[in-house]
Amino acid sequence: MITVHHLNDSRSQRVLWLLEELGLPYEIKHYQRDRATMLAPESLRQVHPLGKSPVITDGDVTVAESGAIVEYLIERYGNGRLAPAAGAPERLAYRYWLHFAEGSAMPPLLLKLVFMKIASTKVPFFIKPIVRGISAKVMSTLVDPNLKRQLDFMEGELGKSEWFAGKEFSAADIQMSFPLEAAAQRAGLDASRPRLMAFLKRIHSRPAYARALERGGPYSFAND
C-alpha cells in the first residue's frame, strides 16, 4: 500500500491528485505545520532525514521530492497513462515541465514569500526602514522581474497547446499546478494572463482534483 506523508497546505497535495488520477489505492498520514515557524514537524524526519513533504512510502521503498515521486508513480503504476509515449515529440516537453516546476518556477516564489515575511517581521523601530528597504530592493530588482519573465514564458507556452506537454493532460500539468497556484495567491498571476488562469480553472474542475482535496484536507491554494 502506498502511504503519502502529507503536510497540510503543501506540495504533497499534487501527489494525492496524481494518485486519484491513476485510480490507485493509498493511505494518508497527516502532518501539521508548526504554527509559529510554518515548518513541517520533527516527526517527518522519521520518514526521511530531511523531514520535508512530500514523501511516499511504498512497501520498503521511500521516495522524496515531488518530481521524483511523480516519475516513480508514473513509471511503476502508470501503464502508459498521464505521460507521452517514449520517443513521442511531446516526451521532451513533458520531462522539461516536470523539472521546471521545482527547478525554475518555485525558487523565486519562495524568495518572494521569504522577503514578504522579512518586511512584515517585527523589528526595533530604528532598523525597520533598513529592513524594509533591503526587502523592497531585492523584490524589485531580482524577485519580481524573474517572476514576471517566468509567468510571461508560461503564458506563451500555453498558447501552443492546451496542456503543458501537448494536447493531452499529463503528470507534467499536475507537477505545474503548485507553482501556478502559488503565483495566483502571492505573485500577481491574474486575468492579465488568461491562458494560465484558464489552466487553473481546468485543473480545479477535474473530478480527481476534487477527490484529492476531500482526502487531503484544507488547501488554501485551490483558487483561480
Scanning the structure block, which residue is given the C-alpha cell 526602514? Answer: 129
Q: Give percent helix, percent strand, percent coil of the chain, each to the nearest 5.
A: 55, 10, 35
Distance, in Å, from the CA atom of 69 to the CA atom of 165, rounded to the nearest integer, reads: 18
Supply the pTM of this predicted model.
Answer: 0.91
Identity of residue 33: R
Strand stretches in the chain, DSSP E: 2-7, 26-31, 55-58, 61-64
Side-by-side strand order, sheet with 2-7: 26-31, 2-7, 55-58, 61-64
Residue-level pLDDT at 195: 98
Peptide bond into 54 cis (omega under 30): yes
Using a 10 angstrom Cβ sphere, with 0-12 exposed, 13-18 middle and 19 or more buried, the burial of residue 206 is middle
Q: Measure the CA–CA gap between 171 and 78, rounded to whole angstroms.
A: 10
pLDDT, residue 140, reads 81
User: What is the per-residue pLDDT for 44?
Assistant: 80
User: With a cut of 50, which residues of the chain have pLDDT below it?
Assistant: none
pLDDT at 131: 66
